[in-house]
Structure 1
Amino acid sequence: MPQTISATFETRRDAEMAVEHLVQEHGLDRAAVTIAPVSADNSAGTETAGADIEDGHAKADTEGEPALAGRLRVSATVDPTLADKVETSFATYGGTP
């Protein structure tokens, strides 16, 4: 019976890296993974990363961009035999249960 494993991440980049690791390294079906804000707020995480930074500083103008107002939750529904790999991948990219 499939098992759902979840972790929260501070940045969208970390969440996406965890998903890519699961898909590319462990062959997980991308459709079995979701990324969503933890709270009701639209969010790209709580810390700047990647596209959120210009010239080493956080962007001043974020018009049209998701607010950095909350953490992101990644959930993966997998066969229990993959549970350890999913948890390890989440932890590698800063996910916390």
Structure 2
Amino acid sequence: MSDDSAKTIKATFPTREAADLAVEHLTQEHGIDRADVFIGAAGGANTSGTRPSGGDAPSTRSDHSRGDAQLDGEVEVSVDVTDQKLAAARRVFENGGGHNISAA
């Protein structure tokens, strides 16, 4: 985003699934361009969260979750938004279970 009034807001999520849902809400409900949204590990390790979710979670036919997921830390979502969309992005993060929310 090349707008000088843009802010970057970020949050961490315990699972990749929660991070993906936050991205869906940002783009589909609030019209934020997907190119302005970034997802990555909150730390230095490759990770998909801190606990199984989505494809890593046990299926309805089994009690076993996959053992090959990289559960080495939380997932961070950051998004560049205008001042007008900053509050909406914060609500999406809060409602989606995000924490360590900060804006700069």
Q: Same fold (TM over 0.5)?
A: yes
Aligned to 1:13: 17
Q: Deviations over 1:3-37 (max 9, x none)?
A: 00000000000000000001000010000000010
Structure 1 runs, 4 residues or longer, greater than 3 Å off: none
Size of the alignment, in residue pairs?
93
What's 1:95 paired with? Answer: 98
Root mean square deviation, CA, Å: 1.1
Tell me the equivalent position of 1:59: 66
* Pairing partner for 2:88 from 81, 85, 89: 85
Give the % identical residues: 39
Q: Distance in 2 between matches of 1:59 and 1:37?
A: 20
Q: What is the CA–CA distance in structure 1 between the aligned matches of 2:84 and 2:42, rounded to whole Å? A: 26
Gaps of 5+ in 1: none
Amino acid at match of 2:15: T
Structure 1: distance between partners of 2:51 and 2:97: 12
| Residue aligned with 1:58, SS | coil
Amino acid in the other structure paired with 1:87:
R
Consecutive unaligned residues of structure 2, counting only runs of 5 or more, are: none
- Please list the CA deviations of residues 57-87 of structure 1 after superposition, one character each: whole Å capped at 9, or x if unmatched: 3213x1xx5x111001100000011011000
